[in-house]
Amino acid sequence: DATLERRRFPVLEFLAFQAAQFATPADSAVKEFATRRIVRALERRAATEYERALALRWTVAAHLRGGRGDSARAQIARAAPGSAGREGDAWIVLARVMRLDSLGDWRSATSRLSAWAGSAGGGADAAAHWILARAGRDPGAHATALRRLARPDSAPLPVSLSLDLDARARLGAADTTGALALWDRATRRYAVLSAPFDLVASLWPLRLEQARVATARGDTAAARRACDSFDALVGYVDQVALPQIERACRPHEPR
């Protein structure tokens, strides 16, 4: 641990991603040991608001992937105020939306995240608006905010998240074909530089939902595209979806 903690934060980011990306089931115990040491070093080396938020984000993801929901909750509970605290709130609400382990009091977290999204600093936070819309907190207002952010010249994330809300509306209207087409559009483009690091910039929640719906509908081609998108991690947080994607994609595995 002392050796790791002497590493620069970007080096620790790289090591953490490699451990998550390339470990196989045969070396899962080694991966688990290495991952816990690396994310602990990340947390201790974090010196800026960005680094503290990222360290929390990745630590929670690693705990969830390892089946340590209690550890993830404890990590969030002791997050410092500021960007790390907001990251914890986003995780708590997102976990409820995506049917992951409960990470805390989602109602209180939703209220805090809503206050952030309505502030001058948080008004352009596309992920916060999307999470709140998915959680049913003033969904119309947050969908409208996302559409404002999803300009033709905008970054890919608000466009994709806005399309996801449209897809879910189509699904609610029993238009599964339309929903899958929108998810296909939404997941064709993502922010390459931020996707490995951010909470949802890799679009893992959209790809997971696409896989679930396509599988349930029997759309083999769409299911295969969505399932194959998890063959390698686009983002570090993708790993939290792997247990669910394995279940969703099992019917399409080669026999």
- DSSP codes of every residue in 214-253: HHHHT-HHHHHHHHHTTSS-SSGGGGGGHHHHHHHHGGGS
- Flag whether 140 is in a domain: no
Residue 127 tokens read as 């992920």
pLDDT of residue 10: 87
- Flag whether 206 is in a domain: yes
Residue 184 tokens read as 């296909």
Residues for the chain: how many in total?
255
Contact 129, 117 (CB under 8 A): yes
Helix (H) or strand (E) holding 188: none
pLDDT of residue 31: 62
Half-sphere exposure of 23 (CA within 13 A, CB side): 19
pLDDT of residue 212: 95
pLDDT at 251 over 80: no
pLDDT of residue 26: 47
Q: How many domains does the chain have?
A: 1
pLDDT at 2 over 90: no
pLDDT at 255 over 50: no
How many C-beta neighbours within 10 Å does residue 115 have?
A: 12
Contact 56, 77 (CB under 8 A): no
Regarding predicted confidence, which is higher, 3 or 93? 93
Alpha-carbon span 52 to 59, nearest angstrom: 11
- Flag whether 92 is in a domain: no
Domain that holds residue 228: 150-255
How many C-beta neighbours within 10 Å does residue 236 have?
A: 26
Q: In the predicted model, what is the mean pLDDT of residues 64-90? A: 95
20 alpha-carbon distance from chain centroid: 15
- Flag whether 75 is in a domain: no
- Flag whether 163 is in a domain: yes
Which of 164, 169, 225, 224 lies closest to 200, judged by CA? 164
- Flag whether 249 is in a domain: yes
Over the stretch 148-186, which tens digit does the pLDDT of each residue have?
999 888 899 999 999 999 999 999 999 999 999 999 999
Q: In the predicted model, what is the mean pLDDT of residues 38-45? A: 88
Q: Where are the alpha helices (DSSP H) in 67-175?
A: 69-77, 83-97, 106-117, 126-134, 139-149, 156-172
Contact 19, 52 (CB under 8 A): no
